[in-house]
Amino acid sequence: MGQRLDVKGEEMEFPDRRCGTGRREEAPRYFLHRIPRSREVRQPWLTTVLTTLHAACLSLPLTLRVRPDLVLCNGPGTCVPVCAAAVLLGVLGVKRVTLVYVESLCRVEHLSLTGRLLRPFADYFLVQWPALKAKYPSSVYLGRIV
């Protein structure tokens, strides 16, 4: 396995030890990086633009440095700036990055805002309910995976 970088929001409360497998031999190739959240719960939509731009300004240099082969993300708006930076690498001809988005399990009939934003750019857009697969035929349904 090559390098692995997990990116999570600064204020996300789950412990860092949940990222990675915890295997000692993986340690030199595993990194954790935090970026500011794009939007806080109940944050006004107008100020969300500013916080998302701030997160994007920190995501772009990180993505340029790492130059990932694959970005795998699952839901929160925190992933939008990272995905945008990955798409930008391809647009600029720096590197083509495969983008895989897994829609939240709680999204049964409608996509999340993050899903709606990223669906046009995702190479693989995974949904976890047959109703969403029917609504979005280009999506991939593998059952409940998260």
Buried b (16+ CB within 10 A) or exposed e, 74-96: ebbbbbbbbbbbbbbbeeeeeee
Q: What is the pLDDT of residue 42?
A: 85
pTM value is 0.81
User: Which long-range contacts link 134-140 to residues 24+ away (Cβ below 8 Å)?
Assistant: 135/109, 136/111, 139/103
Q: What is the pLDDT of residue 92?
A: 95
Q: What is the pLDDT of residue 17?
A: 52
H helix or E strand, kind and range, residue 33 = strand 30-35
The pLDDT profile of the chain, 146 residues, written as one tens digit per residue, is 567 778 877 665 555 454 555 555 555 577 888 888 888 788 888 898 899 999 999 999 999 999 999 999 987 778 999 999 999 999 999 999 999 999 988 888 899 999 999 999 999 999 999 999 999 999 999 988 86
Domains of the chain with CATH codes: 4-141 (3.40.50.2000)
